[in-house]
DNA sequence: GCCGATTTGTCCGTATGTATC
DNA sequence: CGATACATACGGACAAATCGG
């Protein structure tokens, strides 16, 4: 991301998180920011818009742009923006290991098609992985990738980071992700693969991911042990 | 919302949901849309940006703007954008009733402050409500409102719709909502108030809401019976 | 492989409206 | 009422990616 507005966004975000612009105060007005970043009006606004969408600030007409982000008490494993499992784990201060349980080519039949959103007949790669950290198997990922989008993928790469491979080696850009969160009973398979303790339900995140070409290339169900599951998001009226 | 870009957004959204612009096809390019809506390219771009943020389309450089929205099979009770409980229930085709269990003024002590994000000493209104539909008590809402933001609120209004009252009567605008989703064990209180069947865990949505002045005026925990809980959201890289 | 047409992405500069103080 | 500050819209310019000839 080499856009000017994005650099400004990142800079402002840093300052908010560092407490330079504290909770419930106003950041400098557009006119000041113009001078500081030496750009126009519109570019500042674009940066502020992204900042707003991410829940850091809220513009108040006639007054200014107010900081609404509070330093968070985050517990265990927090999901949110688009990021790789490895990135998320690192951000949560956890060292993670991944074990590949299934790695096979399949052709989408009617049942798979309805569950994943792929078309019947699509060539897919079916991958199942168990995520291990804090001395326990905590997440079970069941994924279907569009085969033509993940050429050269091997079980070894799947054990490392599929998304890093796709972005760095294949030059693909992950762009949009539609997510659905539900709760489901643990299956015998979950119990066999995960360290579930007494939990009999799981938090399930269904993820349908599109690349920069607008092609749906992945549907994954991440099945989380409840005590390690936290999902954060921001909704903004009208945006 | 009287902005031009917002009308264009709504029109395009309708056409996508109606199938006028089907899944995986390109919508007309900017130049066509300029003519159709008689505005400038910047206004079109703003509308497309909102459409993108909501997961309906994805722009592809040099090619066009591709529809990535698929008609969904939504199950039971679906949450997502900012909307009142009543709106959400209606959208899911359910007729809902609300029972007010608690309605009292409190002053935030250290414990409440840490849980809600309000400051110690803030005057709050503590409201607990049970949501009933499909012949069962399915959601338990524990809320704290900033008292100065909800003047004139009564238990009767709370049984109807607090948000409708705030927006229509007090002229407040709900703008930003920071949400955290977790799973928790059901408490004795949950069991007493809800029809939990055999479920021993709940989906809990913590909601911290800010009005158009950037003032944090509400923290609510909505405790949902798992089989009626679905949460949908869209994440877009860079936005 | 190159060039030009198409299409989206970014940025500039300006103008006007609306809300606050 | 005027100054300040955000919101919307216009019009123009150039960059970057794609596609067809």
Do residues A180 and A199 make contact, with C-beta atoms less than 8 angstroms apart?
Answer: no
pLDDT one-digit tens code per residue, A34-76: 989 999 999 999 999 999 988 899 999 889 999 998 876 555 5
Residue range A209-226: mean pLDDT, rounded: 92
- Residue B239 pLDDT: 57
Q: What is the pTM of this model?
A: 0.86
Q: Strand C: which bases are under 7 Å from protein Cβ?
A: 6-15, 17-21
Question: CA–C1' distance A8–C12 (Å)?
Answer: 17
Q: Is the pLDDT of residue B109 over 90?
A: yes
Tokens 């969160």, residue?
Answer: A181
Question: CA–C1' distance B65–C9 (Å)?
Answer: 13
- Residue B238 pLDDT: 63
- Residue B167 pLDDT: 81
DSSP letters, A120-180, are TT-EEEEEEEEEEETTEEEEEEEEEEEGGGSTT--HHHHHH-HHHIIIIIS---EEEEEEE
- Residue B235 pLDDT: 85
Report the percentage of chain B scoring pLDDT > 90.
65
Report CA B58 to chain centroid distance, whole Å: 23
- Residue A142 pLDDT: 96
pLDDT one-digit tens code per residue, A31-44: 999 989 999 999 99
- Residue A131 pLDDT: 92
**B18 close contact with A: CB closer than 8 A:** no
Q: Dihedral (C-alpha) B130, B132, B136, B137: value to the nearest 10 degrees?
A: -10
Structure tokens at A24: 């419930």
- Confidence class of residue A2 from pLDDT cuts 50, 70 and 90? low
pLDDT one-digit tens code per residue, B124-148: 999 999 999 888 999 999 999 999 9
- Compute how many other C-beta atoms are within 10 angstroms of the C-beta atom of residue A132: 17
b/e for B99-110, b at 16 or more Cβ within 10 A?
A: ebeebeeeebee
Residue range A179-204: mean pLDDT, rounded: 94
Q: Is the pLDDT of residue A200 over 80?
A: yes
Q: Which residues in chain B are classed under CATH 3.40.1410.10?
A: 77-231
Q: Is the pLDDT of residue A28 over 70?
A: yes
The whole-chain average pLDDT of chain A stands at 88
Do the strands A78-79 and A230-236 form a parallel or antiparallel pair, or are they unpaired? Answer: parallel
Instruction: Tell me the nt nearest to A42, Cα to C1'.
Output: C11
Contact A230 B180 (CB under 8 A): yes
- DSSP summary character for residue A1: -
Task: Kindly give, in sequence order, each residue whose CB lies less than 8 Å from that of residue A1, ignoring residues fewer than 6 positions away.
Answer: B238
Report the percentage of chain A scoring pLDDT > 70.
91
- Residue B72 pLDDT: 65
**B182 close contact with A: CB closer than 8 A:** yes
- Residue B232 pLDDT: 86
Contact B183 A60 (CB under 8 A): no
Q: Is the pLDDT of residue B222 over 80?
A: yes
- Residue A81 pLDDT: 60
Using only C-alpha atoms, what is the Rg of chain A?
21
Do residues A79 and A88 make contact, with C-beta atoms less than 8 angstroms apart?
Answer: yes
Task: Kindly give, in sequence order, each residue whose CB lies less than 8 Å from that of residue A203, ignoring residues fewer than 6 positions away.
Answer: A181, A182, A183, A223, A224, A226, A229, A231, B181, B183, B203
**A71 close contact with B: CB closer than 8 A:** no
- Residue B158 pLDDT: 92
pLDDT one-digit tens code per residue, A82-91: 566 666 777 6
Residue range A143-168: mean pLDDT, rounded: 90
Superfamily of chain region B77-231: Chorismate lyase-like (3.40.1410.10)
Query: What is the rounded distance in angstroms from the CA atom of residue B41 to the CA atom of residue B47?
Result: 10
Q: Show residues of chain A in contact with B24, CB under 8 Å.
A: 214
- Confidence class of residue B82 from pLDDT cuts 50, 70 and 90? low
- Confidence class of residue B25 from pLDDT cuts 50, 70 and 90? very high
Q: Is the pLDDT of residue A78 over 60?
A: yes
Query: What is the rounded distance in angstroms from the CA atom of residue A185 to the CA atom of residue A10?
Result: 40
b/e for A16-32, b at 16 or more Cβ within 10 A?
A: beeeebeeeeebeeeee
Contact B237 A117 (CB under 8 A): no
The whole-chain average pLDDT of chain B stands at 89
- Residue A104 pLDDT: 96
Residue range A220-225: mean pLDDT, rounded: 94
Do residues A105 and A92 make contact, with C-beta atoms less than 8 angstroms apart?
Answer: no
| Chain A, chain B: beta-carbon pairs less than 8 Å apart | 154
Q: Which residues in chain A are classed under CATH 1.10.10.10?
A: 4-67
Q: Is the pLDDT of residue A101 over 90?
A: yes
- Confidence class of residue B95 from pLDDT cuts 50, 70 and 90? confident
| A-proximal residues of B, 23-62, CB under 8 Å | 24, 50, 52-53, 55, 57-58, 60-61
Taking phi first (over 0 means left), then psi (-120 to 50 degrees means alpha), and beta for anything else, what does residue A24 get? left
Q: Is the pLDDT of residue B237 over 90?
A: no
Query: What is the rounded distance in angstroms from the CA atom of residue A215 to the CA atom of residue B58?
Result: 9
Residue range B203-215: mean pLDDT, rounded: 91
- Residue B20 pLDDT: 95
Task: Kindly give, in sequence order, each residue whose CB lies less than 8 Å from that of residue A160, ignoring residues fewer than 6 positions away.
Answer: A98
| B-proximal residues of A, 109-128, CB under 8 Å | 117
Mutate to test the interface with B, among A1, A172, A214, A222 (most CBs of B within 10 A): A214
- Residue B78 pLDDT: 63
What is the CATH number that goes with domain B4-67? 1.10.10.10
């Amino acid at each position: 991301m080499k856009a000017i507005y994005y650099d400004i966004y990142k800079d402002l975000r840093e300052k908010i998180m560092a407490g330079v612009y504290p909770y419930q105060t106003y950041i400098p007005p557009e006119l000041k920011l113009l001078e500081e970043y030496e750009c126009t009006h519109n570019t500042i606004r674009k940066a502020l818009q992204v900042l707003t969408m991410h829940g850091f600030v809220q513009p108040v007409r006639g007054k200014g742009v107010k900081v609404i982000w509070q330093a968070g008490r985050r517990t265990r494993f927090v999901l949110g923006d688009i990021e790789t499992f490895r990135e998320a784990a690192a951000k949560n201060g956890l060292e993670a290991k991944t074990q590949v349980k299934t790695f096979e080519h399949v052709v989408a039949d009617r049942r798979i098609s309805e569950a994943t959103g792929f078309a019947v007949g699509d060539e897919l790669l079916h991958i199942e992985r168990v995520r291990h950290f804090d001395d326990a198997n905590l997440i079970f990922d069941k994924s279907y990738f569009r085969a033509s989008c993940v050429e050269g993928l091997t079980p070894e790469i799947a054990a490392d980071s599929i998304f890093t491979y796709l972005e760095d080696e294949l030059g693909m850009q992950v762009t949009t992700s539609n997510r659905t969160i539900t709760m489901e009973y643990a299956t015998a398979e979950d119990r066999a693969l995960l360290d579930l303790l007494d939990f009999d339900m799981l938090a399930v995140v269904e993820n349908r991911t599109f690349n920069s070409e607008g092609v749906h290339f992945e549907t994954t169900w991440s099945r989380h042990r409840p005590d390690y599951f936290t999902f954060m998001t921001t909704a903004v009226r009208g945006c």
